[in-house]
Chains A and B, each alone.
Chain A
Amino acid sequence: MTNAIEVQNLLKHLHRFQLKDVSFTLPKGTIMGFVGENGAGKTTTIKCILDLLKKDGGKIKLFGKELHEDELAIKSEIGVVFDDLNFPESLTAKKISKFMRKVYSTWDDSYYCELLNKLKVHENKKLNELSRGMKMKLSIAIALAHHPKLLILDEPTSGLDPIVRDEILDLFLDFMQDDEHSILFSSHITSDLEKIADYITFIHEGKLLFSESKDTLLYDYAIWRGTKDEFEDLPSESILAIREQAYGLEVLLKRNEVSTAFELSQPTIEEIMLIYVRGVKADESFVNERFFNAQ
């Protein structure tokens, strides 16, 4: 099975920021949620995948091929949605379809109209008269109208109300009915990702913290809360990250490496994100230090 996206050791230097060694794989037929705080490197990674930014190192493959090998064919299989509708404001939804049908040989006018009707987007209103929610819905309709195999979405739901977000997520689930289809979906609204993603890839300060299946995260990871004294009883190798709270410590750990005697709770993606970002990641040096302290 080929993968929709493969990123290997991606490196990119920007002014005062760099992506370091980012690697992940999006298998065909799945949705990957790409999370991280603002400025963590989500958009930079997506721009590198699309060659909007030139990478400084590493390899990126789409449908098993590097972009330069067959750029136009690969790009015609992709639909892209950015956090804004990047069409000149004097256009209308109808005018957009007039030239987009010449961009994609597979552009489907009737499907485009069907989507606009379904999402209640006015065909003849100028873009500057549309609300943000309407613009995003139009943007998604445009991305879907040529029947792409891969959707790349950069914060498509940020700034939208829960009802519009739900409508949009339903569209994505419809799109996933075909098991050749895949989605890479960046967002910091983690509840959206919990609803639809199969994989969660988490980037922080330009580095990848993990890329795991959602079920692994939600069922194999656990959160333990307690005082510093109680914390000493937790096995070192089970600990992934620790965050200090007013009441004591909040610890992210591997569920199956801890005795059932400890009271554990199931984490949400948001909690995992917060513990990693606001707390300390437990790496080898942490484990050693703890071991020596104990001695």
Chain B
Amino acid sequence: MRALLMKDFLMLSKQIKMMVAIFAVLIIISFITNMTMVLVIFSLIFASLQLTTAFTFDEMSKWDKYANTLPVDRKTIVQSKYVLGLILIASGIVIFTPVVFLSDEMTRQLPFIDIFQTIVIVLSIALFYISLTIPLFIKFGTQKARFIIFAIVFLPVFGSGFIQYGLRTVGLNQLMSYIKYVPIAAFVFLLLSYFVSVKWYERKEF
């Protein structure tokens, strides 16, 4: 497992370095414009982007064919991709949360609880995203999966209609009280996704 993660990070090292440079600039801009919250969202987009890149690089070199001749379980190969996704997401959160709080301390725009809630929601969305993409990448490859993901990610746009409906009938406060269930749902979805991925990967032929 450590070996596979190390391979992914060595493989992505150039991309990650480039992103760090971009983030340095973004942090400065976000401080000036008082929009540090955007950073958290940005870091999560970055995380999902890197995960997709990792899958694309593997696919281009047919790495999985070789990886399956090594003394490594198929399950471990799948696990390593989930751990990679989680590490990327976690590092985004760990790096940018202090920045957000620091900037908020200075400007006192939002109460702590609101920031915390937003970060949890964004984090949950990131978990939903990797839970959706990893099994699709495994089953369909990055080319086909990309279209499927594109379609699924756009479903919430129609979903926003339901939210408006919910706002009208249930009321904002009631709806906000459901928000605490979002991270739990994300976690359940992640577990489910992992089992599906393992199943699909174990059946896969190379």
Residues of A with Cβ closer than 8 Å to B?
Answer: 47, 50-54, 71-73, 75-76, 78, 80, 82, 84-91, 95, 98-100, 102-104, 152
Contact = CB atoms under 8 A, between A and B. Distances in A.
A89 B68 contact: no
7 contacts: A50-B69, A52-B205, A86-B62, A89-B57, A90-B14, A91-B10, A100-B3
A91 B9 CA distance: 10
A100 B3 CA distance: 7
Contact of A103 (B63, B65, B71): B71
Given A53-B205, A86-B61, A87-B61, A102 B3 contact: yes
A82 B66 contact: yes
Contacts of B11: 88, 90-91
A88 B71 contact: no
Contact of B206 (A47, A84, A85, A99): A47
A87 B10 contact: no
A78 B69 contact: yes
A144 to B, nearest CB: 14
B180 interface: no
A86 B66 contact: yes
B2 interface: yes
Given A85-B61, A88-B58, 15 more contacts: A50-B68, A50-B69, A51-B68, A72-B73, A87-B66, A88-B63, A90-B11, A90-B57, A98-B10, A99-B3, A99-B6, A102-B3, A103-B3, A103-B71, A103-B72
Nearest to B58: A88
Interface in B3-51: 3-4, 6-7, 10-11, 13-14
Contact of B65 (A86, A99, A152): A86
Contacts of A72: 71-73
Interface in B150-206: 203, 205-206
Contacts of A152: 69
A13 B57 CA distance: 29
A89 B60 contact: yes
B61 A88 contact: yes
Interface of B: 2-4, 6-7, 10-11, 13-14, 57-58, 60-63, 65-66, 68-73, 203, 205-206
Given A52-B205, A91-B11, A103 B70 contact: yes
Contacts of B206: 47, 52-53
A52 B61 contact: no
Contacts of B63: 86-88
Contacts of A87: 61, 63, 66
Nearest to B62: A86
A115 B61 CA distance: 23
A71 B75 CA distance: 13
Contact of B71 (A47, A53, A95, A104): A104
Nearest to B73: A72
Contact of A80 (B4, B6, B66, B205): B66
Nearest to B14: A90
Nearest to B59: A88
B124 to A, nearest CB: 31
Given A47-B206, A89-B60, A80 B69 contact: yes
A105 to B, nearest CB: 9
A198 to B, nearest CB: 24
A283 to B, nearest CB: 33
Contacts of A75: 69-72
B69 A73 contact: no
Contacts of A100: 3
Contacts of B68: 50-52
Contact of A52 (B3, B7, B65): B65
Contacts of A103: 3, 70-72
Nearest to B64: A86
A102 B71 CA distance: 11
B6 A76 contact: no
Contacts of B60: 88-89
B135 to A, nearest CB: 20
